[in-house]
Amino acid sequence: MRNTLIIVLIFISSSACNIDSKFFPKKAFAEDEKILTFIQYHVSDKEGVVEDYYYFGLISKDLYRKIKTHEVNEGLIFMEKVKYWNTDDVIESYADEIYSDEMAFRIEDIVRLDLVKEEPVDGFQYPEEEQDAEAEAPQEI
């Protein structure tokens, strides 16, 4: 009986170190160093149709490392200062009159996770592939 009590106390005290981040992940995220990332998500609807979503934002540096090393492969990921790449290939802020600039996503839906050097600018439009090819073509003099 005494050994069981000691084992239970050891378990409780060792898990108490992470209790704050387990039950209050937003608080743990707020205290962690954040890095700017680009994340592509595949999300399936009820019929099994997969949609791609592309977001830029700040995430926990520690969680980024854990996802990249496959230490964590399920749960939620919180993003701040979220911007998205819309269907017109224009970068837009997620924040508006209704929504804040924070979102949570399922880690299981991530198909691409990259670091970003500079925050994308709202209204930036990615060039079309044909325009890129024309720009790279040699010009006659």
Give the model confidence (pLDDT) of 15-52 as tens digits: 545 444 444 455 545 567 999 999 999 888 888 888 88
Number of domains in the chain: 1
Domain that holds residue 43: 31-125
| Rounded Cα–Cα distance for residues 22 and 126 (Å) | 39
Considering the domain boundaries, does residue 137 fall inside one? no
Considering the domain boundaries, does residue 133 fall inside one? no
The pTM score is 0.64
Around Cβ 67, how many Cβ atoms within 10 Å? 20
Considering the domain boundaries, does residue 117 fall inside one? yes
Which SS3 state, helix, strand or coil, does residue 39 take?
strand
Q: What single DSSP character describes residue 125?
A: B
**CATH number of the CATH domain containing 98:** 2.30.30
DSSP assignment string, 82-100:
EEEE-TTSBEEES-SSS--
